[in-house]
């Protein structure tokens, strides 16, 4: 019986219009992997490039048998590209990096050892010294501080594309929207809690221009709120909406009951001849109580419908792959 050795390493690289940097990047990765004796594959996911990136990938695949290419029909975003790469990854360790040569492949051996020898589930790169303008570094620091506070994960650079994962981690999570920034949080929610960080070198951009603007921080914050809710209540929406609905309904019900009891006591003279009271429907408190009752019912129904949708939902994220080699 012949036993096949598991593949050591998968390098997953999402890209958009990076035709100039790809040959240098792939050659650099191949040198490092071969020097370390890794069995490896390089997954290049073309996220709807409009330049010659796909032609370059085809040429590289003919030169380097370890290269695998995936091309989307249109631009879906970095998270979609990573999600598709994770589904196809075969290596025991999966390392993600950007295609613009700002991430150094020389970091690969150290990241690999942190996973295989030190037992980490996930190791995130930290670009402690960055070659980016102030318009990117200052918002990034604020964004990372907020993310640490909400997620409870003590990482300094959630945005760093250079990360290493144990294979079981990437097979246990789903990345969509703009969730690639929060993969450590997704991994933590899936039960992988040994998350580390390594200072990595950050190189100045050699080719092209950045594909991300300031809007990514706004989208990132909205996604952080979304993923925080989904991690806690994604599989049990009734616990969130139902609890709020019951509290709102009870608050409205007891206020209304108190007003009715007060009115009855007033009508029977139990409150004395000097007590004056307006009709219930003339009191603003009654309408606030009515709003609470209606809101409570709506929140409860939202939780109930969420439970039905959760239990019957199928795979909602499908990405149209135009070609694969």
Calpha distance 118→111 (Å, rounded):
10
pLDDT score, position 322 = 67
> For 117-127, what is the mean pLDDT?
93
- Extract the tokens encoding 241: 């909406």
Beta-carbon-side half-sphere exposure of residue 74 (alpha carbons within 13 Å): 2
Higher per-residue confidence, 310 vs 101: 101
The per-residue pLDDT for range 161-183, each reduced to its tens digit, is 899 999 999 998 888 777 888 89
Q: Any idea which residue has 């290049």 for tokens?
A: 44
State the pLDDT at residue 159: 83
Which residue has tokens 């506070």?
149
pLDDT band, very low/low/confident/very high, at 113 (cuts 50, 70, 90): very high
Digit-coded pLDDT (tens) for 291-302: 999 999 998 888
Separation between Cα atoms, residue 153 and residue 122, nearest integer Å: 12
The better pLDDT of the pair 315, 73 is held by 73
More confident residue, 40 or 231: 40
Residue 251: φ, ψ to 5°? -60, -45
**β 163-166/122-126 pair status:** antiparallel
pLDDT value at residue 83 = 93
In this structure, what token pair is assigned to residue 285? 């408190």
Average pLDDT over residues 53-58: 94
Annotate 216-249 with b (16+ C-beta within 10 A) or e (fewer): bbeebbebbeebbeebebeeebbebbbebbeebb
In the chain, which ranges are continuous DSSP H helix?
22-36, 53-63, 78-88, 108-116, 134-151, 167-170, 183-189, 215-233, 237, 243-267, 284-312
What number of residues does the chain have?
325
Structure tokens at 317: 């994220």
**What would you measure as the largest C-alpha separation in the chain, in angstroms?**
100
Distance CA 211, CA 205 (A): 12
DSSP string, 96-140: E--SSS-B-GGGHHHHHHHHHTT--SEEEEE-SS--S-HHHHHHH
3 state DSSP class of 290: helix
Cα separation, 304 vs 271, in Å, equals 43
Average pLDDT of the chain is 84
- Range picked from 60-64, 206-210, 299-303 for highest mean pLDDT: 60-64
Write down the domain spans for the chain.
Answer: 9-233, 237-310
pLDDT score, position 164: 96
% pLDDT > 90, the chain: 44
Amino acid 105: pLDDT: 94
Residue 1 has pLDDT above 50, yes or no: no
C-alpha–C-alpha distance, residues 171 and 19, integer Å: 29
Task: Out of 3.20.20.70, 3.30.70.1450, 2.130.10.10, 3.90.550.10, select the CATH number for domain 9-233.
Answer: 3.90.550.10
Q: Which of 36, 84, 133 is nearest to 321 (CA)?
A: 84
Provide, rounded to the nearest whole percent, the portion of the chain with pLDDT above 70: 85
């Amino acid at each position: 019986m012949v036993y096949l050795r598991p593949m050591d390493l998968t390098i997953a690289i999402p890209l958009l219009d990076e035709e100039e940097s790809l040959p240098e990047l792939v050659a650099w990765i191949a040198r490092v992997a071969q020097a370390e004796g890794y069995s490896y594959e390089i997954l290049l996911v073309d996220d709807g490039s409009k330049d010659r990136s796909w032609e370059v990938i085809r040429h590289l695949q003919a030169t380097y048998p370890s290269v695998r290419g995936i091309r989307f029909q249109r631009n879906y975003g970095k998270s979609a590209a990573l999600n598709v790469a994770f589904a196809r990854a075969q290596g025991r360790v999966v390392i993600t990096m950007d295609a613009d040569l700002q991430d150094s492949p020389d970091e690969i051996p150290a990241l690999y050892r942190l996973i295989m020898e030190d037992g980490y589930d996930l190791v995130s790169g930290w670009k402690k010294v960055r070659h980016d303008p102030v318009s990117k570094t200052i918002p990034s620091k604020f964004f990372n501080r907020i993310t640490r506070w909400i997620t409870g994960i003590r990482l300094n650079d959630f945005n760093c594309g250079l990360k290493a994962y144990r294979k079981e981690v990437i097979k246990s999570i789903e990345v969509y929207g703009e969730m690639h920034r929060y993969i450590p949080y997704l991994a933590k929610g899936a039960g992988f809690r040994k998350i580390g960080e390594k200072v990595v070198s950050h190189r100045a951009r050699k080719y092209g221009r950045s594909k991300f603007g300031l809007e990514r921080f706004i989208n990132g914050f909205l996604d952080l709120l979304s993923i925080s809710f989904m991690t806690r209540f994604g599989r049990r929406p009734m616990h969130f909406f139902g609890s709020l609905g019951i509290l709102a309904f009870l608050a409205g019900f007891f206020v209304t009951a108190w007003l009715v009891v007060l009115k009855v006591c007033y009508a029977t003279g139990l409150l004395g001849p000097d007590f004056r009271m307006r009709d219930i429907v003339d009191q603003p408190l009654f309408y606030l109580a009515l709003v609470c009752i209606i809101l409570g019912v709506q929140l409860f129904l939202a939780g109930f419908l969420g439970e039905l949708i959760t239990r019957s939902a199928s795979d909602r994220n499908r990405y149209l792959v135009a070609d694969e080699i």
